[in-house]
Amino acid sequence: MDLSSVTFSCYSLSKTLPPFSRLLFLQPSPHSTTFLPNPSLFFSRQNIRAIKASQASNLSKNDDFVLEDVPHLVNFLPNLPSFPNPLQKSQAYSIVKKTFVSPEDVVAQNIVIKKYSPRGVHFRRAGPREKVYFKSEEVRACIVTCGGLCPGINTVIREIVCGLNYMYGVEDILGIEGGYRGFYSKNTMRLTPKVVNDIHKRGGTFLRTSRGGHDTHKIVDNIEDRGINQVYIIGGDGTQRGAELIYEETAKRGLQVAVAGIPKTIDNDIAVIDKSFGFDTAVEEAQRAINAAHVEVESVENGVGIVKLMGRYSGFIAMYATLASRDVDCCLIPESPFYLEGKGGLFEFIEQRLKENGHLVIVVAEGAGQEYVAADVHATDKKDASGNKLLLDNGIWLSDKIKDHFTKVQKMVINMKYIDPTYMIRAIPSNASDNIYCTLLAHSAVHGAMAGYTGFTVGPVNSRHAYIPIARVTERTNTVKLTDRMWGRLLASTNQPSFISSDQEKADKDIIQDLNNINITSI
């Protein structure tokens, strides 16, 4: 069976049929990945009546099935031979009940759907396949890290190397130093399990990193010249877009090169996947800064502590750290606008909390209130080597604004404590939870590349690891949804204002009501 295709045989109607009913078998439509009922099967009269009743009440919507597949080497190298997976003889996997993932296994993007809504989008499940498209002794793999630092990068590097070597017997593994430009301007290093044995205990990246430097043709020329046939790319959305370009160029040249992406961002802003590696570690480390701020402000009169955390466009670290801490009075994130002065503003809230408790702690994500800071300092748009907009220091700005208001306007004594643990958080080694997660990511990427998949990225979707088209994780930035329960939980925890005026609140309620009235027919 061709591993680049998949056929699904059945779909249970247990929710719409009587308890004793059978399965409704499906046959694929010849022109799409939608699977339609097979009319050739027979049911009892009672079941048939139940099916007709179900069909009369939107059963057709249940028939929609979408598989967002990833490319495979046989798509452009149709005569590529396959080989038995070496894991068949692995001592470690000999005790596993089901060693190999079935080519029919998929992971649903959404697991909570309405009773008669479409089945929705699915991704190919990650894991080892029965057939591989590389001989172990012919594999020459390389690993590269790009962009900013994040806890867990070294663990991913280590587990790719150990996974290739221990599971598949691959010995020729190269480390590309210094990011994308390392392909054509830096030396490489030879990676073995012994070389990477303890790198997971350190922060940063063992291979060093850089921003920018992506030149598709130069990189692929280097891959071809060196005889590399597996490329593992660790980086954020910009890095993953670069990985997709590398895949497209290798496919265009007809090269047997598997390109696998491992998405990295400490901000947890990658779409589709449950969370990014290093995020749990970042939230845990942020607690230390919040706790320090809380101790400081409790010990002085009118203590105001501001903790600035990462989050350019997404406030996940700030939100989760706030929820975990329970010592935070107010959380400011890029997704939720706020204002300082007037009724319902931040100054009024701070004054109220100081009167009640004598102190307060504010957590602010680095992207929050950037429009106010820019207006104050008359800043111009500047970008880093990756094309990201350089943000202004909103923590210092907010500290100054609060201090000026209460000392000059309210004539109050304010003891300001400002903590910015940004680089401390992202430079530390990953914790136990992230170490396990990084291992699963690395092994899933190795299994996918050995099975001949290419141009894919890997990550957990509803707690099941899947192979995802790179374009899906780079098409948008994952952000905190202010209409979701998690943000509601935070507001209930801190009891902070929504910072929305009455007119704006009415407009927002109208928008939310319109969204709730929409009959969603696809997921």
Pick out the residues of the known binding site for substrate.
265-267, 310-312, 366, 423-426
Q: Give 461-479 as a DSSP string.
A: ETTEEEEEEHHHHHSSB--
Contact (Cβ atoms closer than 8 angstroms) between residue 24 and residue 10: yes
Question: Which of 64, 267, 269, 434 is an active site residue?
Answer: 267
Tokens 């990225």 -> residue? 457
Contact (Cβ atoms closer than 8 angstroms) between residue 262 and residue 441: yes
Angle, CA 298 vertex, CA 491 and CA 312 arms, to 5°: 45
Q: Measured between alpha carbons, how far is 360 from 376 in angstroms, rounded to an integer?
A: 25
Q: Measured between alpha carbons, how far is 294 from 493 in angstroms, rounded to an integer?
A: 16
**CA quadruple 189, 190, 191, 194: dihedral sign:** negative
Q: What are phi and psi of 330, to 5 degrees?
A: -155, 135
> For residues 277, 279, 282 and 286, what is the CA-based torsion angle, rounded to 10 degrees?
-170
What token pair was written down for 14? 């247990």
Q: Convert 223-241 to b/e letters by CB count within 10 Å (16 or more is b).
A: beeeebbbbbbbbbbbbbb
Q: Is 267 a catalytic residue?
A: yes
Q: Measured between alpha carbons, how far is 130 from 452 in angstroms, rounded to an integer?
A: 12
End-to-end CA distance of the chain: 30
Q: What are phi and psi of 161, to 5 degrees?
A: -60, -50
Contact (Cβ atoms closer than 8 angstroms) between residue 363 and residue 332: yes
Q: Return the bridge partners of 131, or none.
A: 84
- 490 Cβ contact partners less than 8 Å away, ≥ 6 residues apart: 319, 322, 323, 331
Contact (Cβ atoms closer than 8 angstroms) between residue 154 and residue 429: yes
Q: Measured between alpha carbons, how far is 445 from 459 in angstroms, rounded to an integer?
A: 9
3-state secondary structure 193-208: CCCCCCHHHCCCCCCC
- Which residues does the annotation mark as catalytic? 267
